[in-house]
A and B are shown apart, each in its own frame.
Chain A
Amino acid sequence: MSATSNNISRVSNSLTTYATLSRLRQNSLRLFREQERLSSGQQLLSASDDPIAAEMIGRLTQSRAAQDQILSNLRHADGYLSASDSAVTDIGSILSDAARIASEQSSSLQSAEERASQAVVLDGLIDQLRNVGNRQFQGLYLFGGRRVDQAPLTSDLGRITYAGDAGSRETLVGSTLTQAYDVSAANVFGLQDSLNGGYVDFDVQLSTSSRVSELGGATGAGVRLGHIQVAQTGPALNFEVDFTGAETVGDLINRFNAAAANAGSTLTLGINPADGGSLQISPALASVQITEINNGTIASDLGIRKTATGVTLDGDTVNRRVSLTTNLSDLQPGGVTLPNGIVITNGSKSATVTFTGATTVQDVLNRLNTSGLGIRASIEPNGEGIVIENQVGGTPLIIGENGGTDADTLGIKTIDGSLSLTRVNDGRGIHPVTTGADVRITNANGVSFDVSFTGAKTIGDVITAINAASTLAGAGVTAQTSQGGAGLHLTGPAGAGQLSVQAQNLSPVAQELGIAKTGTATDLDGDNVTPFYQSGIFTALYRLRDGLLADSSSEITEAGSAINAIQKDVAGTAGEVGARSKSMRDRLAQTEDAVAATTILLSEIKDVDYTDAVTKFQQAQTALQASLLTTSRIQNLSLLDFLG
């Protein structure tokens, strides 16, 4: 009743009553609201009191909930990293003990008995390392990757074997930022520093069911879906093709062909039969030109951004990557068949793995991974080939043929022409003489030829050098990688004598390549000089242990060197874990600050300002009192009281 006094000229009793009641109601309501604010501690009693503030409260509450969650994630990650940090420190300490033993026992003055007793000590250290590797945090194995429910280090295969997962555990450390917070045993113990295999880059064939996401794209940037423009002459036509939403190569083809047919064109898109790995637009017309639309990239990604004049438009290869579902029939042009299987030897254990019935890459990987020999086969991260990890510490892994070429086909044969010679001779490489030949090879007919390996970098270079020299000498000797082993294999013509290899000019290369021997008339099997060892702590410790038991000073010295090198790696890992831990704690502190800031801001908007509320309450109370007072005075005044 606030806007009544300006436009009236007389006051009736009912108007007085109406106005009085209205003011009483307003003042009571105001007093009630202030009382509610004071008793609830809330600035707003309902969202409609101040929609903007209410919206801010809603958003800030959500932000704080998200920040709380990130805080929780960071605390979890920090705890995990702190436990890992402690474990890595312990590993460093154990390694120091091992390095001290190696240093003490490398002297030739140590007795075999002393070394044997230190081997027992070393067994204890290996056991301690295993215990550290199997340490848990909140019931989860620290170093098992995402396989948190089982100990990552086992000794099922006689030596320490890694059974954890190669992946990492991640958590959200920002609204959209995830970060790994675990340290896998593979990293800490150096279990997968090197991989075996990957010697074949598969030329995977396209199929209509191939996912577009499997394509590396003609430019290596994947395939980014969009629109293309097709311009043809003979007859002249233009049409657009929309590839957005396509899932498979078949979808790409269907969309192109539907758009072409719709435009009255005879052009069709298909898989190029010539190479199976690219697309082709046919038939040949006077000209066909493919261009991008709206700065798209799909024509380039599909390798068809070009012009064909009088010929079919043959695209560039779109680099389909290997995936678990890739059919073996698509793995290479003409398909891949694996009829014979392979032989895998890991230390003293050996098994033949066959691929009968396997139709996909995953089938092959499953057969390898269930061989029970402590290996893990996987697809290379770049999707080009297959690689093998040796998960058993200190045992030589050899993957060879089982009478066929399956290992070679898969690119996982332990010895391969592209293998670096640095892998040979227990990682020491070969050391050709600077002057003259390194070896002399004599066939069964007594024909000899000298070979120099100066400049050779790979096993393939060695084989090429031998074969070239043999050809030049007419010796008929052929070098190749061994079928079932991890060395070289020489064949020669039959004769009265034997095929043999001798070192020349005091060169150690024949020994280093494992071919300093005499074979049969036609064959010479070299030693396994390129077995695949897991690099890392356990291999070095087992080597030291074996050296101590064998009473071999040189082995102890080399193992000591390896341990010293690993100590540096572990120190680096410890530093990295520490840095990650610090980074996590820094982020934790920042997030705590952000939570505090959000909480303060929220409080400023949401919580009542008691000074303000009390003052307003007092004002409302005074207004109500004044209203009651004036009402009682006014209502008591009447002319009728004065009439006689």
Chain B
Amino acid sequence: MSLTSALGVGQSALAAYQAALQLVGQNISNSATPGYTRLTADLSSVPGATSRVGQLGNGVNITSIRRNANDALEARLRTALSDQQSAAAERNGLARVENVFDPLGDNNLGTLVSDFFKSWGELQNNPQNIATRGIVINNGRSIAERLQSVRGDLAGIRDELNSQITTATEQADEIATQIADLNIQITVAESGASGPASALRDQRNQLLSKLSESFGITTREQPSGAVNVYIGNEALVQFGESFGLQAVNELDASGRLVAVIRLKEGGGVVKPTTGQVEGLITARDSHIGGQQDRLDALAGALIYEVNKIHSSGKGLQGFTSLTGATAVLDPSLELSNADNGVDFVPKTGSFFIDVKDNASGTVTRHQINVDLDGIGSDTTLNSLIADINANVPGVTASVLADGRLKLTASSSTSYSFADDTSGALASLGINTFFTGTDSVDIAVNDVLVSSPTLLAAAKSDLPGDGSNATDLVGLQSRVVANLGGVSLSDYYTTSISDLAVRASSAQSALDSGGIIFDSLTAQRESISGVNLDEEAVALINFQRGFEGAARYMNVIDQMLQTLLSLVR
């Protein structure tokens, strides 16, 4: 080996250690950079020419700069992040629903329902008491207002979730565009180069992680270094092209406005399987939508069941004129016809109209049959009106232009109702406690609000009769067919229980997702993270190597000087 070549050996060492020190510096500089992948210089000796005693070597060089990354682990981490974000979004949505219902609070919907039936219980003891009647009506209004409020709050949460879905989708769309751009940059940077474009890959990994927060993604790296990104079966990014994401407001099967995720190109529906957006969609459709449905079912059953009993009862005074709260679309259609717009469908049965002669105080009872068995002619609003007009002297029935039934007493009479086995009165909104059909429009009948004496606590004309109120008290624990064979109280409790179980499950999923994510993060950091102590050791190591190489160069230089002095 010549001295010149010996200088070359030293030079290679200086260059290699300088580069290695630079890498250490890079690692130290990025020790706190999120997503940074630790770089390691792979040093190897340079083989020299073969002498008669063997190979002496030509120094050292950096064969590669190694990214300490595990792509499979990164993919698992992204999946874990998606799952965690999905669970978090679901849990957050459910927590908000839980707050709306406030099941452990002192003034929740369940308490209001109990208070409502309790006030009917008081009324059964004091049916003649106007103040007690006022309490019943106020408690009914409290329930109606709370149901509407809860419904409104749930709708508000839905709107916010839709908004979050839209925002997350817009962010994801932007990220996808950036990933596509980075794909191009990485491909260009790595083409012809011996190593990876680490910084660019780190950036891309960071973006993939951010994207996987919103959407569960799968990636497939191409030989060029580009990654294709998929959401479910839909390709979002292919090489340098993003197909784009957008949230489009559409109506679902229940007529509710929902933000639907579609590809910008092609318009295909994207159905995320995990990630924040999937959690938001699940919270919106399954949890909140489910609770809205249950709330509507509860409100509907409360309205109809209370009304069925109430409409068969009597107040402290009769009616002189009464207009039904429910309109039919076509008075000539059977009352049970689905096209008639009657939400609470009556059945075959009958009811009584008791007409009171105001002068003598005598009451005359008239039976009105409701035939809805599908055999022969079934009862329509028109036929019902004709029946009343033909058989109930002192009362005139008519249908208003909007399809509502109106009953008017003659000047010397008043009327009341009894024993409706058909549910027709409740269906048509006659002598009802509530109006409306669900939690959106439930309200206490204005007729009662303005005249509490019309509250039907009795089954007779006697002021001390609270028997109808007794029936209403019993409704709280009575099985209701429309609620799947459970009582109003049980249905509410089951709904709350269902909500609590869902929220608890979401919290458990979040907790376990967090553990998995933490574990994978630890693994990733264990592999890719920077340890300053390690870097300090490497720093010393490379520094000493550099110093040694410099000393070696100095020695060679002195040897050359010695040789050159011989020449002089």
**CB closest residue in chain B, given A606:** B104
Distance of A69 Cα from B115 Cα, bound (Å): 9
- B114 close to chain A: CB less than 8 A: yes
Distance of A642 Cα from B467 Cα, bound (Å): 91
Contacting residue for A254 out of B350, B373, B504, CB 8 A:
B373
- A3 pairs with B519, CB closer than 8 A: yes
- A175 close to chain B: CB less than 8 A: yes
**CB closest residue in chain A, given B524:** A15
Contacting residue for A65 out of B38, B118, B422, B503, CB 8 A:
B118
Contacts between the two chains (Cβ within 8 Å), count: 257
Contacting residue for B348 out of A209, A251, A325, A606, CB 8 A:
A251
- B462 pairs with A165, CB closer than 8 A: yes
Q: Given the known inter-chain contacts A7-B523, A55-B500, A61-B111, please indicate yes or no for A69 contacting B117, CB distance below 8 A.
A: yes
CB neighbours of B121 from chain A (8 A): 69-70, 72-73, 172
- B371 close to chain A: CB less than 8 A: yes
Q: Given the known inter-chain contacts A18-B521, A73-B121, A639-B533, please indicate yes or no for A144 contacting B464, CB distance below 8 A.
A: yes
- A48 close to chain B: CB less than 8 A: yes
Distance of A47 Cα from B352 Cα, bound (Å): 47
Contacting residue for B533 out of A69, A245, A638, CB 8 A:
A638
Q: Given the known inter-chain contacts A11-B531, A61-B111, A211-B367, please indicate yes or no for A72 contacting B526, CB distance below 8 A.
A: no
Contacting residue for A42 out of B104, B360, B473, B528, CB 8 A:
B104
- B504 pairs with A49, CB closer than 8 A: yes
- A12 pairs with B117, CB closer than 8 A: no
- A324 close to chain B: CB less than 8 A: yes
Count class of interface residues, chain A: 35 or more
Q: Mark A243-260, 1 if CB is under 8 A from B, else 0.
A: 001111011001100100
Contacting residue for A57 out of B38, B104, B528, CB 8 A:
B104
Give A227 Cβ to nearest chain B Cβ, in Å: 15
Distance of A527 Cα from B98 Cα, bound (Å): 84
Contacting residue for B367 out of A59, A325, A363, A640, CB 8 A:
A325
- B95 pairs with A4, CB closer than 8 A: no
CB neighbours of B232 from chain A (8 A): none
Give A390 Cβ to nearest chain B Cβ, in Å: 20
Q: Given the known inter-chain contacts A7-B519, A69-B118, A171-B470, please indicate yes or no for A51 contacting B365, CB distance below 8 A.
A: no
CB neighbours of A175 from chain B (8 A): 477
CB neighbours of B536 from chain A (8 A): 638-640, 643
CB neighbours of A167 from chain B (8 A): 460, 462, 465
- A496 close to chain B: CB less than 8 A: no
Contacting residue for A172 out of B115, B366, B473, CB 8 A:
B473
Q: Given the known inter-chain contacts A363-B364, A639-B537, please indicate yes or no for A12 contacting B503, CB distance below 8 A.
A: no
Q: Mark B342-370, 1 if CB is under 8 A from A, else 0.
A: 00000111101000000011111111011
- List residues 27-76 of chain A with CB under 8 A from any CB of chain B: 42, 44-51, 54-55, 57-59, 61-62, 65-66, 68-70, 72-73, 76
Distance of A147 Cα from B499 Cα, bound (Å): 48
- B229 close to chain A: CB less than 8 A: no
Contacting residue for A170 out of B115, B470, B497, CB 8 A:
B470
- B376 pairs with A254, CB closer than 8 A: yes
- List residues 167-184 of chain A with CB under 8 A from any CB of chain B: 167, 169-172, 175-176, 178
**CB closest residue in chain B, given A642:** B536
- A58 pairs with B114, CB closer than 8 A: no
- B460 pairs with A46, CB closer than 8 A: no
Contacting residue for B470 out of A4, A45, A178, CB 8 A:
A178
Distance of A403 Cα from B515 Cα, bound (Å): 101
Distance of A370 Cα from B124 Cα, bound (Å): 29
Give A162 Cβ to nearest chain B Cβ, in Å: 15
- A362 close to chain B: CB less than 8 A: yes
Q: Mark B115-131, 1 if CB is under 8 A from A, else 0.
A: 10110011011101000
Count class of interface residues, chain B: 35 or more
- A46 pairs with B98, CB closer than 8 A: yes
- B117 pairs with A61, CB closer than 8 A: no
- A247 pairs with B364, CB closer than 8 A: no
- List residues 77-100 of chain A with CB under 8 A from any CB of chain B: 77
- B104 pairs with A46, CB closer than 8 A: yes
Q: Given the known inter-chain contacts A14-B31, A54-B496, A171-B124, please indicate yes or no for A146 contacting B118, CB distance below 8 A.
A: no
**CB closest residue in chain A, given B349:** A247
- A633 close to chain B: CB less than 8 A: no
CB neighbours of B88 from chain A (8 A): none
Distance of A178 Cα from B467 Cα, bound (Å): 10
- A22 close to chain B: CB less than 8 A: yes
Contacting residue for A8 out of B115, B474, B526, CB 8 A:
B526
- A62 pairs with B493, CB closer than 8 A: yes
Contacting residue for B530 out of A12, A22, A69, A245, CB 8 A:
A12
Q: Which residues of A contact B (CB under 8 A)?
A: 1-5, 7-15, 17-19, 22, 42, 44-51, 54-55, 57-59, 61-62, 65-66, 68-70, 72-73, 76-77, 138, 140, 144-149, 165, 167, 169-172, 175-176, 178, 209, 211, 213, 245-248, 250-251, 254-255, 258, 324-325, 360, 362-363, 366, 369-370, 606, 638-640, 643
A172-B474, A245-B348, A638-B536 given. 4 additional CB < 8 A pairs? A3-B519, A51-B497, A61-B110, A247-B421
Task: Give me 19 A-to-B residue pairs in the complex whose CB atoms sit less than 8 angstroms apart, sorted by A's number.
Answer: A8-B525, A12-B525, A12-B530, A13-B32, A13-B531, A14-B525, A45-B104, A46-B95, A47-B496, A49-B504, A51-B497, A54-B497, A58-B492, A72-B122, A73-B121, A172-B474, A175-B477, A176-B477, A325-B366
Identify the 10 closest CB pairs spanning chains A and B, nearest first: A12-B529, A48-B503, A148-B464, A4-B522, A47-B500, A15-B525, A65-B114, A51-B500, A8-B526, A146-B462
